[in-house]
A and B are shown apart, each in its own frame.
Chain A
């Protein structure tokens, strides 16, 4: 697994002549890219247009540009609250997942191969199970686990942010453990040996030696996890009952009602909801791509 450092594409022999094949290639890719970008562009353009104007002139017109939709979507849709819920769920879930999976990977990467395989199989397969298949028992389990009021207003794990954080963590640990244990196995043994000779405890070996070296993998996984957990729709739908606790992605279905008749408002709402993942994508694209291909490619 050397997925974090993908080998460079074979360099092609360059010719100065403009080749028709190259022109055709750019024409095809350019047209496809435009078509691909269009739905987002359309949402973006309409989000800046006045509803009254488009209602009269139709959407195939120009003019009536405004910023009001953003202010209205933000306030009418009560987006700040939903965004906060997303933060409260996503950040602890990502941190907890990375912490636990790096611990598990650390132990697994220093054990016998066979045991390793069994545990990794159990971990990795869990990541791919259909969430619906766990719904009933989890629901029942969550309602029967009492929590003090200061953690959950509902008095149980059901309808609490903690419950959502835990289920995300349980689901994502598998993939992250797999990726991290491959990464740790590729590290030179001598580093750990040296730490052991120096009398470092297991915890010190993990925290001082192994974890700092895992930084690139952790960054890639964190980018991926933020996107996945922020984008989750199902778990919050199934395990939260109070509307005011919903994260933004699940709250979309309530927003649909609030924005129903005004598609410009809907556009602005969509852009706002897409913004965090798009920012992550554009700023950390390298990590994101590395993360997505981490599990899939084998060097």
Chain B
């Protein structure tokens, strides 16, 4: 819906970037013939114009400028006249001569695959188990989605207490049980990504469970009854009847998971600023832009790669949501 949105009606409509609509009162209203006075029209224009200005000015416009900057060389501090146009050089550089880029892409992909393979599947499974009358069901639910209210930065902190090499629970436990040498779970570049993923998955599972619980409650009970009458067991009922009926929720979960995997940032930044085994595209952008080097153009090129990937899924999300909203 973002890229192929229909052009707005000429009268009274506004396009993003054009500020408040000039003649809102002229737009087609669903009300009867009562017309708004002049003061009302100004009020309406402001009520939509101010929020639109904020969203366009602080989100969409900067996003577009980032795209433009990705084709330039600029230190970000000097005047705008010091911007030098260099075409696609940064993109070529990212893929050829920037060592952290390839691992970052790989880690984001591992992140995504892991989120789908473990927390998403587990979250859906828990939702299916909890979607029934069950003693203590709400207690189970609360426990599973409690981590959702914690920030990912704090999740990193809390798991540090378990993962720490010298003071963490895990090494203390392994030393007692298996006499194992201490492992630096967050520091060892071969394993720290997976250690972080366990912590991130801990938080993601509850969110997915919640989305599926809402989705399952909205599934028409008669569908299940019909399946039961036809002799389908619980597994067959779920795979053949309930799961297909969850299509909108499945799309939302897909998008939420992809966007989460792409935007993952806080937890790796708080552990080691996204280095040494924890490279992620988001962290590379941040360190290129606010780091000492301040490579604005290059950081922007990396950000555009993030932007393009997420836009694909944002379009899926927005069209799903709006289709549902206007049925």
Contacts and interface: CB of A to CB of B under 8 A. Distances in A.
Contact of A298 (B8, B13, B143, B324): B324
Contact of B217 (A7, A59, A101): A7
A11 B326 CA distance: 31
B314 A128 contact: yes
A293 interface: yes
A242 interface: no
A122 B265 contact: no
A119 B48 contact: yes
B325 A135 contact: no
Contacts of A292: 148, 207, 210-211
Interface string A257-299: 0000001001101100110011011100100110011011111
For chain A, the bracket of interface size reads: 35 or more
Nearest to A39: B158
Interface stretch (B53-61, B85-93, B94-102, B188-196): B53-61
Across the A-B interface, give the 9 residue pairs with the lowest CB-CB distance, nearest first: A231-B151, A293-B214, A170-B58, A137-B62, A137-B65, A103-B47, A134-B62, A10-B221, A297-B214
Interface stretch (A62-70, A146-154, A198-206, A212-220): A198-206
Of A192, A193, A285, chain B has the most CB atoms within 10 Å of the CB of: A285
A10 B151 contact: no
Interface in B154-192: 154, 157-162, 164, 167, 169, 172-173, 176
B154 A115 contact: no
Interface in A83-140: 100-101, 103-104, 106-108, 110-126, 128-140
Contact of A117 (B47, B151, B326): B326
B5 A206 contact: no
Interface of B: 1-2, 5-6, 8-9, 12-14, 16, 24, 27-32, 34, 36-37, 39-40, 43-44, 46-48, 50-52, 54-63, 65-66, 69, 76, 126, 129-136, 139-140, 142-154, 157-162, 164, 167, 169, 172-173, 176, 202, 205-207, 210-211, 213-218, 221, 224, 248-249, 252, 255-256, 259, 262-263, 265-266, 269-270, 282, 285-286, 289-290, 296, 299-300, 303-304, 306-307, 310-311, 313-315, 317-318, 321-322, 324-326
27 contacts: A37-B143, A39-B159, A60-B173, A103-B50, A110-B30, A111-B30, A117-B5, A117-B326, A121-B2, A121-B5, A125-B2, A133-B285, A135-B303, A136-B65, A138-B62, A139-B76, A237-B290, A250-B153, A256-B270, A266-B157, A273-B157, A277-B151, A278-B150, A285-B142, A289-B145, A296-B256, A297-B215
Interface of A: 1, 3, 6-12, 14, 25-26, 28-30, 32-33, 36-37, 39-40, 42-43, 46, 58-60, 100-101, 103-104, 106-108, 110-126, 128-141, 166-167, 169-171, 173-174, 177-178, 181-182, 185, 189, 192-193, 196-197, 201-203, 206, 227, 230-234, 237-238, 249-250, 252-253, 256, 263, 266-267, 269-270, 273-274, 277-278, 280-282, 285, 288-289, 292-293, 295-299
Given A36-B205, A60-B173, A233-B151, 13 more contacts: A1-B325, A39-B147, A110-B29, A123-B52, A134-B62, A135-B303, A167-B58, A231-B150, A280-B149, A292-B207, A296-B215, A296-B256, A298-B248
Given A29-B130, A36-B202, A125-B318, A274 B296 contact: no
A136 B69 contact: yes
Question: A interface, by DSSP: helix, strand, loop or mixed?
Answer: helix
A196 B37 CA distance: 12
Contacts of B16: 122
A9 B131 contact: yes
